[in-house]
Amino acid sequence: MRYAETGFNLEVDLTRGNIERVPTDPRLTELHLGGLGTNARLFWDRVPPEVQPFSPDNLLVFGTGILVGTPAPGTNRTIVSCISPQTRLFGFSMMGGFWGPELKHAGYDKVIIRGKSPELVYLWIKDDKVELRDASHLRGLGTLESAEVIRQELDEPHAAVASIGLAGENRVFFASIEQGRSSASRLGLGAVMGDKKLKAIAVRGSGDINIARPAEYMEICNEALRYIVHREKNPIEGVMPILRGLGSPQEMAIHDEKWHTENFAWGNARVRRKGFWTKEISEQWTNTMETMRTRLLSCHNCPMKCGAAISVDTRLCSYMMKCFSKLTYTMGAFSDLEFGLRIAQKATEHGVDAFSAPQTMAFALELLEAGILTEQDMPGMPLDNEGRFYWLLDRIVRREGIGDILADGTYWAARAIGKGAEEYAHNNIKKTEQLPLKLGMLNPMYYLMYSTGEKVNITQIEGNFPQAPFPTREEREEFVKDWVHVPDDRFKKWFVDWELRGKNSIPHYPPIDATCEIVNWQEKLHYIDDCTGMCAGLSSFPYKPPFHIHNLPRLISAGTGLDLDEDSLTHLTRRNRDLVRANNLRRGMTRKDEEPPADHWKRRFPELETRLKDEYYKFKGWNNDGVPTRESLLELDLEFVAKDFMERGILRDGQDPPADSEASKASSEGSES
């Protein structure tokens, strides 16, 4: 019997219209758990580096975390993966909501899409009944509108639907996949879905999920729930309001936006508006949220309410909003919050990423102001600022006129436009727009997270270690008293000694070796979440979360029946991390690609940054080019990666690894196909 997972994937060949229920290899669960780990293995085994984003051979994989659908709070994440049209690398994005649990209850751990349909279709999964259905009547409809039409057509009001809008249909490079309570929005996954002519996947399940040791599992879950209640009654003092409690950044519940409005960049990540947050602005924004926010919302089996239903007009046209989408359109347009919420509704229906879309529109207007683009490039564009953003959004999702170029995002658009446009596409990492922040002094931890994190999204890399020191040593000492979450007590000392000013302040503190350990700890927790399907808001992202490195091994072991402790879970997570990196390295990623936006911090320290990266690569078991060494790969049972790298010349020292390890056997016998 398989525990926590179903042991089956759903394979869909859109070219042939073929659907298969395929058993999976339990040894791959032992090696990679589920979610991102088994997704990365699947891409390594089945998608050669020559495959391009819009090739029929590019897979689109919806992979649930191994604990998704179980009683553990917050275990509802699905990791969607493909070769990204933006980065040309292995791309993945996490979505919560109800879709993943429904898929598990229907009897599948993953949906693996390959090929291209000759006509627009949607996939309907209801337990053992799976079929491709005509979606021609859904062409051009928005994401949420399509989902509602599908539910009515199927007479399944509780079906979970992941769908694309116009942006996905027209292969906009930053198109998202939306599913009501959450979305897989980064890296153009919706564009690949549109290229395959798959409008939506609807799912409803009624099956059970087996737990290896139910009593122990429920005990750990109840411990976490009790701790959540404790944390909510005892918020962290001395940090920005949205980080005082648990969950994803509490943008929907908290109205104090002084930190973000004065540190987020306005326009195309160029202008910082110090002193913007006044009493009048605060009251205006609070009134806007209280008026347009109809209720707070949660994902499946989660006590937190990180999202909200936003009502944009008298027709009660509502949509789900989470996290920084509240701010990005407002910042991009130099406008007020009401405009930001209204245009975000349109953008959600069209299905575009809320980081990339507003920055791409602001980028176009900056080019217009600079004379690089002219009015002839934008015929008919309104003169008012807000009208321009609506106009640009419409042209981008339809790929009309200048929108056809902008639809590729700022990196690719700048190279197509030329005339110095590249200077304005400056807020990218690995060709993808980042959260628009403009800060003062370089933060070494964040330098490493931005540079080396292949999630291309800082909120999916940063985490349990505070972003900045508390003002006084007394406050820092108070914070660490109940900080049981750290790997060991050295982390407490590093934080207590961290000063706002002085010899132990940014950028030369914490020491480089400590910085490497802190960044690695935070990244490790995110990678555990992405294999289990745990929401980062209850584990890897907030301060002092209910799930952490000391109780996650027990939770996973009781759920799956695997024998994991902290060391073995760390080892498994290193394997998955290096496998994600390996997918990208053989697609051409190099050290040169690992740089934060040039003006993210006002003060930079080039020599220190080079040392930081050198030491972090060494700490991770990578060579100075950022490639895992042969020794590291062998230690992690990734001999097949070492062999491939040596054949391609990515690694040049040493001999071919032995081919008799557990991982090599699993690879030779095929993975999840």
Report the CATH number at residue 179.
Answer: 3.60.9.10
Can you spell out the DSSP letters for 294-334? Answer: EEEE--TT-S---EEEEE-STT--EEEEETTHHHHHHHHTT
Residue type, 223: E
CA distance readout (Å), 388 to 267, 332, 365, 407, 560: 13, 11, 8, 16, 52
pLDDT digits 0-9 by tens, 144-170: 999 999 999 999 999 999 999 999 999
Question: Which band of pLDDT confidence, cut at 50, 70 and 90, is reported for residue 242?
Answer: confident
- Residues 193, 57 share a domain: yes
pLDDT at 135 (0 to 100)? 98
State in Å, rounded, how far the first CA of the chain is from the last one. 20
pLDDT at residue 65 is higher than 80:
yes
Indicate the pairing of strand 78-83 with strand 60-64. antiparallel
pLDDT score of 575: 98
Whether residue 129 contacts residue 206, with contact meaning beta carbons closer than 8 Å, is answered with no
Which domain-ending residue is among 204, 226, 250? 204
The confidence score (pLDDT) of residue 654 equals 53
Range 215-234 average pLDDT: 97
Q: What six digits make up the tokens of 541?
A: 């992202």
CA distance 313 to 595: 42
Domain assignment present for 121:
yes
What is the band of 460 on the pLDDT scale with cuts at 50, 70, 90? confident
- Report the distance separating Cα 78 and Cα 63, nearest Å: 5
In the prediction, which pLDDT does 180 show? Answer: 85
Phi, psi of 253 (to 5 degrees): -95, -30
* Residue 667 pLDDT greater than 50, yes or no: no
Decide: helix, strand or coil at residue 671.
Answer: coil
Domain end among 433, 453, 488: 433
Do 250 and 200 lie in one domain? The reply is no
Whether the CB-CB separation of 553 and 565 falls below 8 Å is answered with yes
In whole angstroms, give the CA distance from residue 90 to residue 580: 8
pLDDT tens for residues 413-424?
A: 999 999 999 999
Both tokens of 98, joined, read: 């109800």
Same domain, 166 and 58: yes
**Are residues 81 and 63 in contact, defined by beta-carbon separation less than 8 angstroms?**
yes
452 and 378 belong to one structural domain: no
Within 10 angstroms of residue 49's Cβ, the number of other Cβ atoms is: 17
Q: Which amino acid is at 181?
A: R
Residue bearing tokens 């006129």: 401
pLDDT of res. 662: 47
Q: Is residue 217 included in any domain, yes or no? A: no
Domain contains 671: no
Residues 482, 363, single domain; the answer is no
The answer to whether position 209 is within a domain reads no
Residue 147 token pair: 């989902």
Tell me the three state secondary structure of residue 10. strand
Taking phi over 0 as left and psi of -120 to 50 as alpha, with beta for the rest, 477 belongs to alpha
Question: In terms of DSSP bridges, do strands 318-322 and 307-311 run parallel, antiparallel, or are they unpaired?
Answer: antiparallel
Average pLDDT over residues 389-406: 98
Q: How far is CA 461 from CA 35, 56, 137, 449, 542, in A?
A: 17, 31, 40, 6, 11
Of 231-235, 248-252, 405-409, 489-493, which range is least confident? 248-252
Tokens 């990266």, located at residue = 613
Residue 374 and residue 465 in one domain: no
pLDDT at 672 over 50: no
Residue type for position 594? E
State the pLDDT at residue 107. Answer: 98
The predicted-structure confidence for 518-530, as pLDDT tens digits, reads as follows 999 999 999 999 9
Length of the chain: 673
Q: Domain boundary at 433, 457, 481, which?
A: 433
Banded pLDDT at 54 (limits 50, 70, 90): very high
For residues 529 and 621, membership in a common domain is answered with yes
Residues 511 and 392 in one domain: no
H/E segment holding residue 203: strand 198-204
Quickly state the pLDDT bin for 317 (edges 50, 70, 90).
low
Percentage of the residues of the chain whose pLDDT score is greater than 90: 82
Pair 61, 186 in one domain: yes
For 310-321, give one letter per residue: b (16+ CB within 10 A) or e. bbbeeeeebbbb
User: Residue 669 class from Cβ within 10 Å (0-12 exposed, 13-18 middle, 19+ buried)?
Assistant: exposed
- The pair phi, psi for residue 584, each rounded to 5°, is -80, -35
pLDDT tens by residue, 578-626: 999 999 999 999 999 999 988 889 999 999 999 999 999 999 999 999 9
Residue 654 lies in domain:
632-664
pTM (two decimals) = 0.95
d(CA 112, CA 61): 5
Kindly state whether residues 447 and 345 are assigned to the same domain. Answer: no
Q: Shortest CA distance to 372 belongs to which of 425, 328, 432? A: 425
> Does one domain contain both 428 and 293?
yes
Question: Residue 201: helix, strand or coil by DSSP?
Answer: strand
Inform me whether the pLDDT recorded for 318 exceeds 80: no
Which 8-state DSSP code applies to residue 460?
Answer: G
Cα–Cα distance for residue pair 475/463, rounded to 1 Å? 19
What are the tens digits of pLDDT across the range 337-370? 999 999 999 999 999 999 999 999 999 999 999 9
- List the beta strands (DSSP E) in 481-622: 601-603
Among the ranges given (143-147, 245-249, 513-517), the one the predictor scored with the smallest mean pLDDT: 245-249
Q: CA 268, CA 104: separation in Å to the nearest integer?
A: 41
SS3 of 66-132: the string is: CCCCCCCCCECCEEEEEECCCCCCEEEEEECCCHHHHHHHHCCCEEEEECCCCCCEEEEEECCEEEE
Q: What is the mean pLDDT of the chain?
A: 93
Residue 461 banded pLDDT, cuts 50, 70, 90: confident
Q: Rounded to 5 degrees, what angle do the CA atoms 362, 364, 370 make?
A: 105
Considering the domain boundaries, does residue 231 fall inside one?
Answer: no
Q: How many domains does the chain have?
A: 4
Can you give the CATH number for the domain in which 607 is found? 1.10.599.10
16 pairs with which residues across the strands? none
Listed residue (235, 203, 236, 184) closest to 101, CA to CA: 203
Give CA–CA dist 329/244, Å, rounded: 25
Task: State the average pLDDT over residues 304-313.
Answer: 88
Residue 17 has pLDDT above 70, yes or no: yes
Q: Which residue has the tokens 């008293």?
A: 481
**Which sign does the torsion angle of CA 544, 546, 549, 550 carry?**
positive
- Quickly tell me which residue has 């529109």 as its tokens: 361
Q: How many CB atoms lie within 10 A of CB 613?
A: 19
pLDDT computed for residue 314 by the predictor? 53
**CA–CA distance, 513 with 14 (Å, rounded to integer):** 49
Q: Percentage of the chain surpassing pLDDT 70?
A: 96
Structure tokens at 176: 């998202």
Res 250 pLDDT > 90: no
Query: Which domain CATH number covers 332?
Result: 1.10.569.10
Closest by CA position to 446, among listed 383, 522, 388, 552: 522
Whether 549 is in a domain gets the answer yes
On whether residue 222 sits in a domain, the answer given is: no
Task: Determine, yes or no, domain membership for 248.
Answer: yes
270, two tokens: 């160029």
Nearest in space to 355 (alpha carbons), one of 364, 342, 344, 370: 344
**3-state DSSP: the chain helix, strand, coil percent, rounded to 5?**
45, 15, 40
Is 378 in the same domain as 519?
A: no
